[in-house]
Homo-oligomer: A and B are copies of this chain.
Amino acid sequence: MFEDKDQSRTPVSQLGEFGLIEHLTRKFELSQETSVKGVGDDAAVISSEKNKHIVVTTDMLVEGVHFDLSYMPLKHLGYKAVVVNLSDVYAMNAEATQITISMALSNRFTVEAVEAIYDGIQTAAKYYNIDVVGGDTSSSVSGLILSITALGNVDKDKITYRSGAGINDLLVVTGDLGAAYLGLQVLEREKKVFEVNPNAQPDLEPYSYLVERQLKPEARKDIPKLMSDLDILPTAMIDISDGLSSEVLHICKQSKVGCNLYEDKIPLDPQVISTCEEFNLDSTTIALSGGEDYELLFTIRQEDFPKLKANPHFTVIGHITEEKEGVHLVTRDDTKIPLIARGWNALTEE
């Protein structure tokens, strides 16, 4: 399912490691001002800018744990691996500038398969205007492992940590939540149907948004710029990779505050609502625990509220309280339930 039957199949060993890296990286041109030297030396070289800090983040995607190649096309995998990392850069209120890629793959992968992954990486690099400045490709005993490190920069006085939320700040989220997780449920259901009946034609049309959020998520590159245009400096910020509840708890723990999160404010796409009904799932649970949304969650001072209240990118979903009041979900019937992290956990959900 993940390879065209008629494409040519070149074993990786035919090119060798150096040949492969050269082959894959020759298309990568440097466009960032701060990229002094990219692929091809012992290390990449980045110039630093006055009054800016550099941010660095790293993430590893492991086949069979973070992705399933039976429904994740390789090009999408490359794209998503970049997005996942950039999301962390934007969550620092920074601009993403460079990435490095480490890849290990077993001998069931051909040069064409690796090219498809790099195609996705390149597409993401272009879209997000970042440079690929380093690469390392080697064998694995089984499966595919992609490790990406992303770099970015940010004005020293604009950097936003998880730890800055203050009492009475408003809790704001971008976009909508839960779609990526439901997209995964749809794809897994279709995979099971396909295994039973390989001639079944899946109709993914009613789930198009969900599937796209799962297979081709986007990171919120627009938000740091938009915030700057709106003259808002978030007091704390985090990206939503493990589910809303987990991220709210991170901000509260690191800021030493409590929070009331309002169930009826959580932004949901109509497809999320209808698919939750179809799958007999609770949409609030999905939004809280689904994960992989790659939206941004942040806090702002109350006086900044007028600056973003009319903006369709943002939804105010709660407010910060004193630490001793705890972290709660306020349900539609006005009950307060303590929030617990049930976000997707890469280590326990084996």
Residues on A close to B: CB < 8 A? Answer: 12-13, 15-18, 20, 36-37, 40-50, 52-60, 62-66, 87-89, 91-92, 94, 98, 100-104, 107, 133-134, 136-143, 145, 147, 149-152, 156, 159, 161-163, 237-239, 254, 341, 345-348, 350
Beta-carbon contact of A62 and B139 below 8 Å:
yes
Q: A134-B56, A346-B17 are in contact. Are A139 and B65 (CB under 8 A)?
A: yes
How far is it, in angstroms, between the C-alpha of A101 and the C-alpha of B98 when the chains are bound?
Answer: 18
Partner of A102, one of B16, B147, B238: B147
How far is it, in angstroms, between the C-alpha of A329 and the C-alpha of B348 when the chains are bound?
Answer: 55
| Residue numbers in B under 8 Å from A141 (CB-CB) | 62-65, 142-143
Q: A45-B159, A48-B49, A92-B41 are in contact. Are A133 and B56 (CB under 8 A)?
A: yes
Beta-carbon contact of B162 and A58 below 8 Å:
no
Q: Which 10 A-B pairs have the closest CB atoms?
A: A48-B48, A43-B57, A147-B147, A42-B91, A138-B346, A43-B55, A60-B102, A64-B141, A17-B347, A42-B88
A9–chain B nearest beta-carbon distance, Å: 16
Q: A58-B102, A102-B58, A143-B141 are in contact. Are A92 and B17 (CB under 8 A)?
A: no
Beta-carbon contact of A16 and B60 below 8 Å:
no
The residue of chain B having its C-beta at the shortest distance from the C-beta of A47 within the complex is B53
Given A18-B345, A43-B150, 7 new contacts (CB under 8 A): A37-B161, A44-B57, A48-B48, A57-B100, A62-B138, A138-B346, A141-B143
